[in-house]
Amino acid sequence: MITLTGCSSGNTDISKEIISLEKAALEKWNRGDIYGYLDLYAEDIVYFDPMIDKRMDGLQKIKEYYESWEGEINVTECEMIDPKVQAVKDMAVLTFNLRSVEGDSLYQWNCTEVYRKDRGKWLIIQTHWSYVKPNVK
């Protein structure tokens, strides 16, 4: 279950839809189901996270990257903090912080997702995950 803390937006209907899509993907991901996100990704998605050295382009490359995690993730606690959606016509940007617990480990993330409405369906075209206050030397 994902707890939602705070929420702000200018376009309520789009915001509710985008946040609902993201929460559903996170709930699947937290149970080790990589398709929660893969089913939301557009073919031309670009992707960043702190475990990769450079941007990843395209759904197929991200699918291959995610396959090693399938069935391995077991998040027991998850909180989406202060999600904000900024939308214009067929584009929306979702930003939020995520706090998740897996085993004895606490993870704190910054996330930005760019959604594009394509044939009536919102799809993610850009994802960027980073650690909150990473240890930078």
> What is the tens place of the pLDDT at every residue in 75-115?
999 999 999 999 999 999 999 999 999 999 999 999 999 99
CATH 3.10.450.50 corresponds to the domain 2-131: yes
b/e code 68-88 from CB counts within 10 Å (16+ = b): eeeeebebeebbbbebebebe
Q: Model's pTM, two decimal places?
A: 0.88
Residue pointed to by tokens 């609902």: 20
- Quote the tokens at residue 63: 């699918």
* C-alpha separations of 106 from 2, 27, 33, 78, 98 in Å: 15, 17, 20, 10, 10
> What is the tens place of the pLDDT at every residue in 54-68?
999 999 999 999 999
Is 22:80 a contact under the CB 8 Å cutoff? yes
Residue pointed to by tokens 């617990």: 101
